[in-house]
């Protein structure tokens, strides 16, 4: 667009020269909000523009004249924090510094309150009773696992003891047998007695052993006597028959 002078003649507009400026910035994180500080010396509020994009980017730009046809300008972008409440972002220009406040959705105090509430809930009587009951249940289970092998061993030991007792009872009973077996059995029983009765047991065994040969000898003598009588009778009958002839 061309300018016209008082006489209606066209006057050429000089080309504007822009000087890019990079302002210093600082992000201060606080408990409830983060604040971005931009140092913009010489700028005025109407010479700046702050925009928030849909993608959560802060675009800050501005320009100001610094001489004839000469301008100073800047443009910077800053990402917004994830926990920032974008609907409450505010900007304030004061003493050559632009302050952009970004409130947080979840503050540290809220987190602390939640952690405190969780801690109180864990330390509540109901939670303690539940922990105690679970601990007792685990203890019972562990004791059951430990005592089960012991009970089985005790049961097996009791079974073996009863079997041994029954075997001893059967061994103590006299089975029908001859006197020699009885003497041997009494000898075995005598040997199983205490040390104080050992001499008496040995004497009994010796007497039983001496009785056995005597009985055998008696039976042998009886048999020989019967045999001799039989031979004698046969000879007498034979002699009588020969005399009759």
Tell me if 64 sits within 8 A of 44, measured CB to CB: yes
Question: What distance in Å separates the CA atoms of residue 146 and residue 139, rounded to the nearest whole number?
Answer: 10
Q: What is the 3-state secondary structure (H, E, C) of the chain?
A: CCEECCCCCEECCCCCEEEECCCEEEEEECCCEEEEEEECCCCCHHHEEEEECCCCEEEEEEEEEEECCEEEEEEEEEECCCCECHHHCEEEEECCEEEEEEEECCCHHHHHHHHHHHHHHHCCHHHHHHHHHHHHHHHHHHHHHHHHHHHHHHHHHHHHHHHHHHHHHHHHCCCCCCHHHHHHHHHHHHHCCCHHHHHHHHHHHHHHHHHHHHHHHHHHHHHHHHHHHHHHHHHHHHHHHHHHC
Tell me if 71 sits within 8 A of 16, measured CB to CB: yes
pLDDT in tens, the chain (245 residues): 445 555 555 555 568 899 998 999 999 999 999 999 999 999 999 999 999 999 999 999 999 998 888 999 999 999 998 899 999 999 999 999 999 999 998 755 555 666 777 777 667 676 666 666 666 666 666 666 555 555 555 556 556 565 666 555 555 544 444 444 444 444 444 444 445 455 565 666 666 666 667 777 888 888 888 888 888 888 888 888 777 76
Q: Which CATH architecture has domain 14-106?
A: Sandwich (2.60)
Q: Quick one: tokens of 121?
A: 């809930």
pTM over 0.75: no
Q: Where do the domains of the chain lie?
A: 14-106, 109-146, 178-233
User: Which residues lie closer than 8 Å to 89 by C-beta, 6 or more apart?
Assistant: 52, 58, 80, 100, 101, 102, 103
């Amino acid at each position: 667009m061309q300018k016209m002078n008082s006489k209606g003649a066209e006057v050429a507009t000089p080309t504007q020269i822009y000087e890019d400026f990079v302002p210093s910035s600082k992000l201060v994180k606080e408990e409830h909000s983060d604040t971005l500080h931009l140092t913009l010396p010489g700028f005025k509020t109407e010479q700046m523009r702050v925009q928030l994009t849909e993608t959560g980017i802060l675009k800050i730009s501005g320009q100001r004249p610094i001489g004839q046809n000469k301008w100073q300008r800047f443009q910077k972008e800053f990402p917004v924090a994830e926990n920032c409440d974008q609907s409450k972002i505010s900007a304030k220009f004061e003493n050559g510094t632009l302050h952009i406040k970004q409130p947080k959705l979840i503050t540290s105090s809220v987190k602390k309150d939640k952690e405190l509430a969780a801690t109180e809930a864990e330390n509540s009587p109901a939670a303690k009773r539940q922990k105690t009951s679970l601990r007792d249940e685990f203890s019972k289970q562990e004791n059951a696992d430990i005592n089960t092998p012991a009970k089985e061993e005790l049961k097996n030991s009791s079974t073996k003891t009863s079997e041994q007792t029954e075997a001893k009872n059967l061994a103590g009973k006299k089975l029908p047998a001859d006197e020699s077996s009885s003497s041997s059995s009494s000898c075995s029983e005598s040997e199983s007695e205490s040390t104080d009765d050992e001499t008496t047991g040995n004497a009994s065994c010796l007497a039983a052993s001496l009785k056995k040969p005597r009985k055998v000898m008696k039976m042998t003598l009886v048999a020989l006597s019967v045999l001799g009588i039989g031979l004698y009778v046969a000879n007498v009958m034979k002699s009588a028959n020969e005399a009759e002839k």
